[in-house]
Amino acid sequence: MKFFVDTADIKEIRELHDLGLVDGVTTNPSLILKSGGNITDVTKEICSIVEGPVSAEVVATEYGQMIKEAEVLAKIADNICIKVPLTLDGLKACRTIRTSMNRLVNVTLCFSANQALLAAKAGATFISPFVGRIDDTGSDGMELIAEIRQIYDNYDFPTEILTASVRTVNHVKQAALIGADVVTAPPATLKALVSHPLTDKGLAQFLADWAKTGQKIA
């Protein structure tokens, strides 16, 4: 399973990259706003740190303008993955960006299995179902991941399931159990994967006993 980090915070990306935990990055207009930087500058810097796909989102809603924006974003770096919304114009842009521009596409804001089916048929590289936002409505976001997994496997669609709007470590575990290809999570959630109280307790005990031996390893 690939780990993408869902942020435009350079410091966080650098830290997770140094830990070997970043296979890619996802950004969106809200995350660019949060970063306080200019989309081109911020995205270029992220691409200089991370070798894997870095999703940068178009903000146009009409096909022709989406393609113009995609061309600008694609020039930022070779590992830019163009993010388009799950609309008819977005799906049309997805097909063009994949076939004529030969670039990676992440189709975002997916909330149903049929939407994911359309994205796969449009040749999307990644589909981004937003599990946390589905949970917010009282439904189970992970059910959608399982449905998409089944549909993509039924027809051997190569589109990768990029579990997004991840809020908890349990989302990561469930996505992995279902067989999602990628999870994109905020830095704090990725770092929280390591935590277990029994690890902390066990380590404290080992260190206390070791101190009593009076020995040194190095």
Q: Interface residues for ligand G3P in 32-91 (CB under 6 A)?
A: none
- Single residue of 3, 23, 24, 28 touching ligand G3P by CB under 6 A: 28
What's the alpha-carbon Rg for the chain, to the nearest Å?
A: 20
- Single residue of 175, 184, 187, 190 touching ligand G3P by CB under 6 A: 184
As measured in angstroms, the least distance from the Cβ of 205 to ligand G3P is 37
- Single residue of 8, 26, 96, 182 touching ligand G3P by CB under 6 A: 26
Only one residue has tokens 């999307």, namely 124
Beta bridge partners of 145: none
Exposed / middle / buried, residue 169 (Cβ in 10 Å: 0-12, 13-18, 19+): middle
Complex with ligand G3P: residue 79 or 168, whichever CB lies closer? 168
Question: Does position 130 bind ligand G3P by CB under 6 A?
Answer: yes
d(CA 183, CA 168): 11
Q: Which of 164, 152, 73, 147 shows the shortest CA–CA distance to 119?
A: 152
d(CA 25, CA 3): 8
Please work out the total of residues on this chain that contact ligand G3P, with binding judged by CB under 6 A: 10
Q: Give Dmax (Cα) for the chain.
A: 72
> 83, 92, 121, 212: which is the annotated catalytic residue?
83
Complex with ligand G3P: residue 113 or 164, whichever CB lies closer? 164
95 Cβ contact list (under 8 Å, min separation 6): 122, 123
Q: Which stretch binds ligand G3P (CB under 6 A): 76-84, 98-106, 159-167, 169-177?
A: 159-167
Question: Does position 163 bind ligand G3P by CB under 6 A?
Answer: no
- Single residue of 35, 115, 165, 189 touching ligand G3P by CB under 6 A: 165
Question: Does position 164 bind ligand G3P by CB under 6 A?
Answer: yes
As measured in angstroms, the least distance from the Cβ of 86 to ligand G3P is 13
- Single residue of 133, 147, 179, 191 touching ligand G3P by CB under 6 A: 133
Strand blocks (E) in 63-193: 80-85, 104-110, 126-129, 160-163, 182-185
Mark whether 75 is an active-site residue.
no
d(CA 147, CA 189): 24
* Residues labelled catalytic: 83
